[in-house]
């Protein structure tokens, strides 16, 4: 692909790839093999396969820890609810805790907010994806927290009572701000009060802007991310918004030659869960 008179310029984005929380979790897994990861260590099948080659196994989310009795298991960067730690103890599973320190701090904040809201009859509201591993970990610290995915879910919130609003670390900062403003408006109308705590991780939030700028610099942009990455979904929206000739792919085999027709420059970038080596394989595929 990409032959022709003038060479096509290909750039792999230096700022794309694993955030520090994921790098740390992968290093901990590599150092602790043989180990069973409780769910995908990253939402990227290619990187999971590489680690499995080193001796890591992956147990599906929700695996009964009784089935891992006597083994070593990894808590991913997303974290786990307190019940997982109790069950591991009960069934003799040795946990290697790779919860990202940013997520661990957020779990603590959620637990404190829950306690404070319980005292005043208020509500903890978490903006995030219901059922996402990090969100399940957070609600494990605040069993009655209300998870909202967008404005439509606000009808489940009582604006006449105190509210403490937080976000999943990988949520979109723009959407969080819009929701926060809307909640403030409704709270004022209803005479309640809302405390807004912006807990979006800047390892992700800063990337939206930067990736949009990267995408604008190129005729075509190829965004590499696993199908299950929620961070990948958010970031791809920013990329696509900046450059309509952007395509989301999982790896080099998904690249279609016609996407590159007439392009002088192609940018290859990815999510926080995308390994650098995979983006390089995509670049190789289009240049050769």
The 8-class DSSP code of residue 243 comes to -
What is the spatial distance between Cα 84 and Cα 29, in angstroms, rounded to a whole number?
18
Q: Return the range that interacts with ligand SF4 (CB under 6 A); candidates 49-57, 123-131, 187-195, 199-207.
A: 199-207
Nearer to ligand SF4, 17 or 252 (CB): 17
Q: How many CB atoms are located within 10 Å of the residue 232 CB?
A: 24
Q: Which helix (H) or strand (E) holds 107?
A: helix 101-120
Nearer to ligand SF4, 44 or 203 (CB): 203
Q: How many CB atoms are located within 10 Å of the residue 209 CB?
A: 13
Structure tokens at 241: 């918004």
User: Site residues for ligand SF4, window 66-95 (CB under 6 A)?
Assistant: 77
Q: How far is the CB of 266 from ligand SF4 (least distance, A)?
A: 26
What is the spatial distance between Cα 268 and Cα 262, in angstroms, rounded to a whole number?
17
Which of residues 26, 103, 117, 268 is near ligand SF4 by CB under 6 A?
A: 103
The answer to whether 90 is a known catalytic residue is no
What is the spatial distance between Cα 126 and Cα 109, in angstroms, rounded to a whole number?
12
Q: Which of 30, 94, 112, 134 is catalytic?
A: 134
* String of contacts with ligand SF4 for each residue 253-282, x by CB under 6 A: -------------------x----------
Structure tokens at 214: 């990267």
Distance of CA 46 to the CA centre of its chain: 17
Q: How many residues does the chain have?
A: 288
Which of residues 58, 84, 169, 274 is near ligand SF4 by CB under 6 A?
A: 169
What is the spatial distance between Cα 241 and Cα 231, in angstroms, rounded to a whole number?
16
Cα Rg, the chain, nearest whole Å? 21
Q: Calculate helix-pair angle for 173-190, 202-216, nearest 10 degrees.
A: 120
Q: How far is the CB of 57 from ligand SF4 (least distance, A)?
A: 21
Which of residues 102, 104, 154, 263 is near ligand SF4 by CB under 6 A?
A: 102
* String of contacts with ligand SF4 for each residue 2-31, x by CB under 6 A: -----------------xxxx---------
Nearer to ligand SF4, 102 or 263 (CB): 102
Nearer to ligand SF4, 78 or 285 (CB): 78
Binding site for ligand SF4 (CB under 6 A): 19-22, 77, 100, 102-103, 169-170, 201, 203-204, 272
Catalytic residue positions, numbered = 134
């Amino acid at each position: 692909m990409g032959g022709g008179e003038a060479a096509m310029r290909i750039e792999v984005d230096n700022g794309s790839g694993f955030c520090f929380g994921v790098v740390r979790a992968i290093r901990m897994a590599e150092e602790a093999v043989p180990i069973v990861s409780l769910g995908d260590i990253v939402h990227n099948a290619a990187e999971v396969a590489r680690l499995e080659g080193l001796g890591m196994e992956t147990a599906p989310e929700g695996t009964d820890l009784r089935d891992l009795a006597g083994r070593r298991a990894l808590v991913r960067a997303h974290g786990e609810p307190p019940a997982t730690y109790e069950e591991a103890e009960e069934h003799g599973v040795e946990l290697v805790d790779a919860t990202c320190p940013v997520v661990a701090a957020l779990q603590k904040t959620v637990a404190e907010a829950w306690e404070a809201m319980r005292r005043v009859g208020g509500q903890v509201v978490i903006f995030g994806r219901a059922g996402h591993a990090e969100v399940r970990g957070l609600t494990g610290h605040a069993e009655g927290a209300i998870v909202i995915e967008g404005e439509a879910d606000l009808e489940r919130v009582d604006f006449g009572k105190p509210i403490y609003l937080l976000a999943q670390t990988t949520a979109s900062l723009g959407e969080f701000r819009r929701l926060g403003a809307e909640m403030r408006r409704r709270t004022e109308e209803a005479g309640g009060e809302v405390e807004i705590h912006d807990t979006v991780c800047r390892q992700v939030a800063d990337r939206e802007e930067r990736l949009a700028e990267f995408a604008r610099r190129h005729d075509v942009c190829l965004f590499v991310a696993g199908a299950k990455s929620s961070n990948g979904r958010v970031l791809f929206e920013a990329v696509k918004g900046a450059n309509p000739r952007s395509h989301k792919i999982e790896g080099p085999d998904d690249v279609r030659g016609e996407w590159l027709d007439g392009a002088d420059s192609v940018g290859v970038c990815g999510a926080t869960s995308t390994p650098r080596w995979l983006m390089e394989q995509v670049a190789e595929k289009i240049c050769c």
